Amino acid sequence: MTMGKTSVNAIFIAAMVITIVGADVLFFRHHTGPRLAANIGIALRYLAFYWRFIKNS
Across the 57 residues of the chain, what is the mean pLDDT of every consecutive 10-residue run? 82 95 93 94 94 81
- Predicted confidence at residue 55, as pLDDT, reads 79
Element (H, E) at 20: helix 3-27
Q: Could you give the number of structural domains in the chain?
A: 1
Distance from C-alpha of 29 to C-alpha of 2, rounded to nearest angstrom = 39
| Domain membership of residue 31 as a residue range | 3-54
Radius of gyration for the chain, computed over Cα atoms and rounded to the nearest angstrom:
13
- Predicted confidence at residue 57, as pLDDT, reads 67
